[in-house]
Structure 1
Amino acid sequence: MSIKNYLRPAVEAILKKAGLLYIFRLRRDAIKAYGWERSATAYASIDAESNPIPWITYPAIDFLASRVNRNMKVFEYGSGNSTLWWAKRVGMVSSVEHDFSWHEKVKAELPENANLKYIELSYDGDYCRALACGQDWNIIVVDGRDRVNCLKQSIEKIANDGVILLDNSDRDEYKEGIDFLLNHGYRKLEFRGLAPIVTYISETSIFYKPDNCLGL
């Protein structure tokens, strides 16, 4: 038996007596598996192996990872490690970014099936209408700025089987956009939990109709 395994029962007994055993177990199991500490330390949305992942809740990431495929086309409002994650799993991902410096950084890392466009931010302006010149999208991700207007524009260029993903859907400022989708026949599925980097519980929601590409 290694020294580490020999000492573990004694260490766990001390932590249990101090009421801190749950922290040890979280770090050893769930938090380690997701790579949360690594993401928080690096302030980057990465997993336990430092691979890029979307900056949305872990339950939402797990759900999407098992359901997306190379036949899908994704549009993102907001770019970053999520763009790289999508590009490995779908046929094409197109993103729009309002921050020029960030745009330049992300663009330099993109594979061939991903593209990124820089558009200056203006309320209810060209940014939220960036997908109008594209095609019909299977998944539209709203995780950038001017989100209410982005949600409203999304229904104009979504495929018949398409879904809309909204991050931080628990924030009051997005209620108008959420109500807009619900009033247009969309259903809402919430994924609450921890997300990379941050220390609080948040929510990511997927809005869908029957016969959608995710099988909801």
Structure 2
Amino acid sequence: MVKFLKKQGWGILNSVGFGGAVQLYLKSALKEYGWFRSFHSKQSVDAAGNPLPWYTYSFIFFLEPRIKPNFEVFEYGSGNSTRWYGARVKHIAAVEHDAQWIEIIKPKLPANSIVYSRPQGPSYVEAVKNEGKKYNIIVVDGRNRVKCTAFAAEYLTEDGVLILDNSERDWYQPAKDLMTNKGYKSIDFRGMLPIVGHESCSTVFYRDGNCLGI
């Protein structure tokens, strides 16, 4: 009887086009990833509520096991990704143009993290030089991404990699071309990401002997 009712129920859901949506919510990779939690909370988090970078899931799964505790990281843009890196690396610095957002995110950051407040413009683009060091990973996920890519590439360590998020956008093509012309190879990670339902792309640029072992 229970099996019959279950079959009838799924039949009704499928007939009105809701069967797939219900199945995804009850048991699916998206549920395991925490996508539904991120959608409802409007925060980039996993199923347990832990912070995640707002990258494609495919790239998060690729990147996480390759992160090492001695890495130095710089981000254009800050948020849950800053928290995520901070829990895994030696030091992370970020630059953010939105002062109000800094006040929200700053109390949540671990002690090895710092966010620089800079208005949009040259001081934002050049913030990567603030600490006088080079970085294993530089993430371009904020404002002026083409200019930031061009400037930041000079602050990568010999084994450093650069991550360009939302790289499917046509207006970021010059940034991709620039890295290619500098001799970097690239891998695109397409797919869904937390919070939203559309597809995006996260691209990692690397050279031989890079810190991620690609």
Instruction: Place the TM-score, normalised by the shorter chain, in its bin.
Output: over 0.9
Alignment deviations for residues 146-178 of structure 1 (CA, whole Å, 9 cap, x no partner): 000110011111011100001100001111111
Unaligned runs of 5+ in 1: none
Counterpart of 1:112 in structure 2 is 111
Q: Secondary structure at the match of 2:174?
A: helix
Provide the rounded CA distance (Å) in 2 between the counterparts of 1:4 and 1:44. Answer: 38
Aligned length: 212
Unaligned runs of 5+ in 2: none
Determine which of 106, 114, 125 is the counterpart of 1:128: 125
Provide the rounded CA distance (Å) in 2 between the counterparts of 1:5 and 1:97. Answer: 55
TM-score, L = length of structure 2: 0.93
Counterpart of 1:23 in structure 2 is 21
Counterpart of 2:187 in structure 1 is 189
Alignment deviations for residues 82-105 of structure 1 (CA, whole Å, 9 cap, x no partner): 100111111111111000000111
Q: Aligned-pair distance for 1:111?
A: 1.0
Alignment deviations for residues 55-104 of structure 1 (CA, whole Å, 9 cap, x no partner): 11111111111110101111000000110011111111111100000011
User: Given the superposition, is the C-alpha separation of residues 17 and 55 from structure 1 closer, same or farther in structure 2, using an over 3 Å criterion?
Assistant: same
Counterpart of 2:56 in structure 1 is 57
- The structure carrying a bigger helix percent of its residues is 2
| Counterpart residue identity of residue 97, structure 2 | H
Q: Secondary structure at the match of 1:64?
A: helix
| Counterpart residue identity of residue 191, structure 2 | G
Identity of aligned residues (%): 42
Provide the rounded CA distance (Å) in 2 between the counterparts of 1:111 and 1:6. Answer: 53
Counterpart of 1:147 in structure 2 is 145
Q: Aligned-pair distance for 1:8?
A: 4.3
Counterpart of 1:207 in structure 2 is 205
User: Given the superposition, is the C-alpha separation of residues 19 and 179 from structure 1 closer, same or farther in structure 2, using an over 3 Å criterion?
Assistant: same
Provide the rounded CA distance (Å) in 2 between the counterparts of 1:47 and 1:31. Answer: 10
Provide the rounded CA distance (Å) in 2 between the counterparts of 1:138 and 1:17. Answer: 52
Q: Secondary structure at the match of 1:211?
A: coil
| Counterpart residue identity of residue 62, structure 1 | F
Provide the rounded CA distance (Å) in 2 between the counterparts of 1:142 and 1:164. Answer: 7
Counterpart of 1:160 in structure 2 is 158
Provide the rounded CA distance (Å) in 1 between the counterparts of 2:104 and 2:37. Answer: 21
Provide the rounded CA distance (Å) in 1 between the counterparts of 2:20 and 2:100. Answer: 41
Provide the rounded CA distance (Å) in 2 between the counterparts of 1:207 and 1:39. Answer: 28
Q: Secondary structure at the match of 1:117?
A: strand
Alignment deviations for residues 100-143 of structure 1 (CA, whole Å, 9 cap, x no partner): 00011111211111111100112xx1111111132110000000
| Counterpart residue identity of residue 33, structure 2 | Y
Provide the rounded CA distance (Å) in 2 between the counterparts of 1:179 and 1:34. Answer: 32
Counterpart of 2:67 in structure 1 is 68
Provide the rounded CA distance (Å) in 1 between the counterparts of 2:5 and 2:167. Answer: 44
| Counterpart residue identity of residue 23, structure 2 | R
TM-score, L = length of structure 1: 0.92
User: Given the superposition, is the C-alpha separation of residues 12 and 72 from structure 1 closer, same or farther in structure 2, using an over 3 Å criterion?
Assistant: same
Q: Secondary structure at the match of 1:127?
A: helix
Q: Does 1:79 align with 2:86?
A: no
Q: Aligned-pair distance for 1:20?
A: 4.1
